[in-house]
């Protein structure tokens, strides 16, 4: 198997294998019903030549909650070790990490008890992107999954809601969709939480239907932002709007429908601070990093 050693490796049910070798049966429950749970995690190259994962325990704990809800056994310590082993096997430093736990085969029915359970981790090298273009946000015609129907965890099936909103936003010429509830309150974007700045004060939009983002919690702690419900009207009148998430990091928003924002100076500061922290350049936040 020497020829395959340079091929990317994935963790699949307890071992590292070449990325194209595992096969899931076509009757896989998660493929039919979305009965799986995933995470989106990042690792970064650090100044000492190594790499570190940002807030790995928090990501794995959120994944455990989703797994528990689906009746999937989930060992946080072993699942976390698999993340680190996959990164090492692929020699990845700046990477996006995708763990997935899912229900496999055993029945085509909805009772999950007879089903096999699986776990995988894929890692993908990411570009170190410099401050990109600010995104144009459009209010979605879709509502977010209500928490009373589907808890805001990273359950696979729930992301069909994000896929529809993203598709609609792109078709209408926007970069990203903003979910707003029936009362006009801001929920979140398809894969990121929302912040605003007004007269120098920073607010993180809170909503029961929004994912409790780990980047959001990080920025609330760093900036002292107030976490509270925000109406769409209030957001439109903000001086700056930004969204944040593991993949998005801290992303400035250029416009919301026809409302245009300025050049987002505070957002750029938070973006730079976040970039230093995740790369280990801020020793007082080293507790958020797990060395690979």
Residues binding ligand PMP (CB under 6 A) = 40, 162, 188, 191-193, 211, 213-216, 245-246
Angle at alpha carbon of residue 142, lines to 139 and 147, rounded to 5°: 110
Cβ–Cβ under 8 Å, residues 176 and 189 = yes
- The nearer residue to ligand PMP, 209 or 240, going by C-beta atoms, is 209
| CB nearer to ligand PMP: pick between 117 and 215 | 215
Q: How far is the CB of 78 from ligand PMP (least distance, A)?
A: 21
* Shortest Å, Cβ 189 to ligand PMP: 7
Provide the H-helix boundaries in the chain. Answer: 29-33, 56-70, 76-89, 159-171, 214-223, 232-236, 265-278
Q: How far is the CB of 287 from ligand PMP (least distance, A)?
A: 17
Q: Rounded to the nearest whole angstrom, what is the least distance from the CB of residue 65 to ligand PMP in the complex?
A: 13
**Coil/strand/helix, residue 180:** strand
Do residues 131 and 115 touch, judged by C-beta distance below 8 A?
no
Decide whether 246 or 271 has the Cβ nearer to ligand PMP.
246
- Nearest approach in angstroms of CB 133 to ligand PMP is 20
Q: Which is nearer to ligand PMP, 194 or 292 (CB)?
A: 194
CB-nearer residue toward ligand PMP: 250 or 292: 250
User: In terms of residues, how long is the chain?
Assistant: 292
The answer to whether residues 104 and 115 touch, using CB atoms and an 8 Å cutoff, is yes
């Amino acid at each position: 198997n020497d020829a395959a050693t340079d091929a990317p490796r994935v963790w699949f049910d307890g071992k590292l294998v070449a990325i194209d070798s595992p096969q899931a049966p076509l009757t896989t429950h998660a493929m039919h019903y979305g009965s799986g749970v995933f995470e989106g995690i990042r690792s970064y190259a650090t100044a000492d030549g190594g790499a570190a994962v940002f807030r790995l325990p928090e990501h794995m704990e959120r994944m455990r909650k989703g797994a528990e809800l689906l009746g999937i056994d989930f060992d946080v310590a072993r699942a976390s070790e698999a993340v680190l082993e996959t990164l090492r096997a692929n020699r990845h430093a700046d990477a996006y990490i995708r763990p997935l736990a899912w229900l496999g085969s055993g029945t085509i029915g909805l009772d999950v008890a007879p089903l096999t359970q699986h776990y995988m981790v894929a890692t993908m090298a990411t570009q170190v992107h410099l401050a990109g273009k600010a995104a144009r946000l459009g209010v979605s015609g879709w509502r977010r999954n209500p928490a009373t129907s589907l808890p805001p965890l990273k359950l696979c099936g729930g992301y069909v809601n994000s896929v529809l909103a993203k598709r609609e936003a792109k078709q209408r010429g926007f970069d990203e969709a903003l979910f707003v509830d029936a009362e006009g309150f801001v929920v979140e974007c398809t894969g990121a939480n929302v912040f605003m700045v007004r007269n120098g004060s920073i607010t993180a939009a809170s909503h029961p239907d929004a994912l409790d983002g780990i980047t959001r919690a990080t920025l609330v702690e760093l900036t002292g932002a107030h976490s509270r419900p925000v109406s769409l009207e209030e957001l439109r009148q903000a001086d700056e709007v930004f969204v944040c998430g593991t993949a998005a990091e801290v992303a400035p928003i250029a416009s919301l429908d026809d409302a245009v924002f300025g050049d987002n100076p505070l957002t750029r500061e938070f973006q730079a601070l976040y970039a230093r922290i995740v790369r280990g350049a801020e020793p007082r936040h080293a507790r958020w990093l797990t060395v690979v």
